[in-house]
Amino acid sequence: MCSASVQHIPNNIQSSISKLKVGSIESNSSNIAFIIASAIAAKYDKQIDLDLINVYLQAQRNQKNFHYSLLDIKKTFENFNISVEAKKNASPFDLLNLSNEILISIDQQDQLFALVGSSQEYVYLIYGIMNKKALICTLKKSLFIQNFTTKKFLILR
């Protein structure tokens, strides 16, 4: 679904994400820690230790279950004193009208992502890290509305 785009990622998103120190991403929890840290950096423009988030996430899961729910993610934000609101049955149309909020959700392939910004035509989704670089998806809003309708989101206000 994500593809290379001629659209440039806005400077505010690039600058906030580039401040995150990326170590080795070896597990699902460390990749999710990056998504959470990216959301915090994009919203509040502040640093947060990826390793602390990763340790917290790993402590919440046993070795047999590697799947993290939105509730797990919400608890992680709250552990770091970040207020999040859970939305169930939210309309993607309504969510795209939000202006300064960061959204966390799970796509149709059960991949966690953070919607860290939008322009008039595009949304910018962070899916984690690949080869020590942030995997940022530039997606037309119309495609987002058609394909990301899980209707469950966490919103950083």
The answer to whether residues 129 and 22 touch, using CB atoms and an 8 Å cutoff, is yes
Q: Classify the C-alpha dihedral 144-146-150-152 as positive or negative.
A: positive
Is 84 part of any domain? yes
At residue 3, does pLDDT exceed 60?
A: no
What digits encode the pLDDT tens for the residues 7-20? 577 888 887 887 77
Instruction: Please give the pLDDT value at position 157.
Output: 73
Average pLDDT over residues 85-107: 75
At residue 92, does pLDDT exceed 60?
A: yes
Is 2 part of any domain? no
- pLDDT confidence band for 6 (50 / 70 / 90): very low
Is 144 part of any domain? yes
Is 95 part of any domain? yes
Is 1 part of any domain? no
CATH number of the domain to which 61 belongs: 3.90.70.10
Q: Give the predicted TM-score (pTM) of the model.
A: 0.84
- pLDDT confidence band for 36 (50 / 70 / 90): very high
What are the DSSP calls for 51-108, one per residue? HHHHHHHHHHS-TT-----HHHHHHHHHHTT--EEEEES--HHHHHT-SS-EEEEE-T
95 or 35: which leads in pLDDT: 35
At residue 130, does pLDDT exceed 70?
A: yes
11 or 52: which leads in pLDDT: 52
The answer to whether residues 20 and 37 touch, using CB atoms and an 8 Å cutoff, is yes
Is 99 part of any domain? yes
Is 15 part of any domain? yes
Count of domains for the chain: 1
What digits encode the pLDDT tens for the residues 70-88? 888 999 999 999 999 888 8
At residue 145, does pLDDT exceed 80?
A: no
**Structure-token pair, residue 13:** 């998103």
The answer to whether residues 141 and 121 touch, using CB atoms and an 8 Å cutoff, is yes
Q: Which of 33-42, 89-98, 113-122 has the lowest mean pLDDT?
A: 89-98
Is 6 part of any domain? no
**Identity of the amino acid at 85:** E
41 or 14: which leads in pLDDT: 41
Tell me the residue range of the domain where 77 lies.
Answer: 11-156
